[in-house]
Amino acid sequence: MYWQLAVERITSRWTGQNLVSRVIPVDPFDIVIFGATGDLARRKILPALFHRFVVGQIPDEARIIGTARRDINPCAFVAMVRNDLHAFASTAASKTEALTRFLERLQFVRLDATGDMGWSDLTGFLRPELKRAFCFSVSPTLFGPIAAKLYTTGVAHSESRIVVEKPFGHNLYAAQQLNASLLRNFSERQIYRIDHYLGKESVQNLMALRFANALWEPLWNARHIDHVQITVAESIGVSGRGEYYDSSGAMRDMIQNHLMQLLCLTAMEPPTRFEPNAVRDEKVKVIKALQPVRSMDVVRGQYSARDGKDGYRDHAGNADSLTECFVALKVNVGNWRWASAPFYLRTGKKLRARSSEIAIMFRDPPHMIFQDSEWPRGNALIIRLNPNEGITLHNTIKDPGPGGFRLTDVSLDMAFASALGDLEKPQDAYERLIMDVVRGDQTLFMRGDEVEAAWSWIDPIIATWEDARDVPLPYEPGGSGPEMADVLLRRDGREWRAIG
């Protein structure tokens, strides 16, 4: 079944009686993590599985099999996971009994992803009657070889699922090769391409907001919306992962996937059903409707050094780097809904704050009757991804008092944490996504053609920079990016919302 809710919320709409929450356990499964001693597995995948185990969603019969080439014995692996859970899973310290039971579910197999070592041991751990999921928590260069091995060794069966992470290719050609290498041995319905933004509660809420309320749809078009701003600002730099980042840059690392997904969910037509292909078909249509971006509509930046240190180039270990860690761009979606209402996307490292949001900026009232007042700011609907996930609606009201008739901007504010209470605390995106893999629901995963369509649109933008050896503009750490990013909007008579 595509959409089996993990958490059922039953609310009484009329009495305001609040929530009863019920976790529906998934069926027993075997999950294999390739690269189990790596960062992603240790910081994200294993803590996510632990949290789902603590709330009772993962049954005791489930097994988690870590594999890696590293020579550690199973006991050392379990000890490592125990330490990691204390470090990365907030509940580990208080749930000691659950922690012990969770660790009993773990196995470790030393395995060479491209050679023969370990594959028959792995087969021995898997139970024929259960669903199998394989997480490729490894370098993308190993995706194809592992998929082939899974097939030739018979470790994967026709109901097995494989889970791959970004980066999914470096350009269109590489993404096509990667897709082809997976599709050689698995069908599309078995491939789960993760973009962790789709697992964020607030991103899924964007779909609920749009398609579970009748209020917004009549307004959700260029007739009422002036433009949309999508910002994903980070306060951290790239130190610690400079080498990877320098070969990627913000366009590949963030725009091609995370911001593109946010754009798609904001711009897409209502799907006929909340089902994997119905949703993904609509997202692909949006990507295909994106107009080519003119070079004057893109701004690239690199954070500078302070007191001669900690600049992007220091962190990247490349004194001549031309890689951008900030991008702002104006995107036109060429269809009836969005013609004349552009999307402005912006993302960068070392900015003023960690702050991500989608801002729907509505048009001004068509005629102003309050002659003596300043023209009110247009309404804006802000969907906050972080911090403080929630929704804010900016309205214009009368400034109180008898002296004249002035207008002021106030907001209706809903922070999900306080509106929904502890019960619905945002989970890490991976919790949702991994449970969806087990349930066999691909709605929140990228389809192959979707990834390729995104690269088809991105590639020419990057090619223009590379051909011209375009030099990113320097910007001060702790600010809002290069001044030219402000000009990009000012030129159109608009301005960015402040970061943070």
- CA atoms of 338 and 284, how far apart (whole Å): 15
**Which 95-124 residues touch ligand BG6, going by CB under 6 A?**
none
In the complex, the smallest distance separating the C-beta of residue 55 from ligand BG6, rounded to whole angstroms, is: 21
Q: Which is nearer to ligand BG6, 226 or 253 (CB)?
A: 253
d(CA 233, CA 416): 20
Which tokens is 365 given? Answer: 């009232």
Separation CA 36–CA 150 (nearest Å)? 17
- How near is the Cβ of 30 to ligand BG6 at its closest, in Å? 27
Measured from the CB atom, is 107 or 248 closer to ligand BG6?
248
246 binds ligand BG6 (CB under 6 A): no
What's the min distance (Å) between Cβ of 142 and ligand BG6? 18
Residue nearest to ligand BG6 (CB): 253
Per-residue x/- marks for ligand BG6, 252-271, CB under 6 A?
-x------------------
The span from the CA of 138 to the CA of 162, in Å, is 12
Residue 455 Cβ vs ligand BG6, minimum distance, rounded to whole Å: 16
Q: Which of 84, 201, 226, 234 binds ligand BG6 (CB under 6 A)?
A: 234
Burial class (CB in 10 A: 0-12, 13-18, 19+), 20: exposed
The one-letter code for the residue type at 344 is Y
Crossing angle of helices 74-88/46-54, nearest 10°?
Answer: 70
Place of tokens 């356990």: 25
Least distance (Å) between residue 341 CB and ligand BG6: 25
Q: State which residue, 237 or 271, has the beta carbon closest to ligand BG6.
A: 237
Phi, psi of 429 (to 5 degrees): -50, -35
Question: Do the beta carbons of residue 267 and residue 286 sit within 8 Å?
Answer: yes
How many whole angstroms separate alpha carbon 61 and alpha carbon 115? 30
- How far apart are the C-alpha atoms of 57 and 219, rounded to whole Å? 39
Of 176 and 239, CB closest to ligand BG6: 239
Question: What is the three-class DSSP state of 31?
Answer: strand
The residue (of 234 and 297) whose beta carbon lies closer to ligand BG6 is 234
Task: Tell me how far apart the alpha carbons of residues 313 and 331 are, in angstroms, rounded to a whole number.
Answer: 28
- Give the closest residue to 352 by CA, choosing from 436, 247, 234, 465: 234
CB of 395 to ligand BG6, least distance (A): 29
For residue 18, the minimal CB distance to ligand BG6 (Å) is 29
Name the one residue in this structure whose structure tokens are 């003119």: 294
Helices (H), 268-425: 276-289, 312-316, 416-420
Pick the closer one to ligand BG6 by CB: 253 or 436.
253
User: Closer to ligand BG6 at the Cβ: 234 or 431?
Assistant: 234
Question: Taking CB under 6 A as the rule, which mask of x and - marks residues 19-58 in contact with ligand BG6?
Answer: ----------------------------------------
Instruction: Return the CA Rg of the chain.
Output: 24
Closer residue to ligand BG6, CB minimum distance, 179 or 355: 355
Length of the chain: 500
Distance, CA of 439 to CA of 48 (rounded, Å): 15
Which residues are catalytic, by number? 258
Tell me which amino acid residue 494 is: R
List, in order, residues 6 or more apart from 228 with CB less than 8 Å away: 266, 267, 341, 342, 343, 344, 358, 359, 360, 361
The site that binds ligand BG6 (CB under 6 A) totals a number of residues, namely 2
Structure letter (DSSP) for residue 221? S
Nearest approach, Cβ of 256 to ligand BG6 (angstroms)? 10
* Nearer to ligand BG6 among residue 155 and residue 328 (C-beta): 328
- The amino acid present at 454, given as its one-letter code, is A
Smallest gap from residue 463 Cβ to ligand BG6 (A): 22
Q: For binding to ligand BG6 (CB under 6 A), which residues are involved?
A: 234, 253
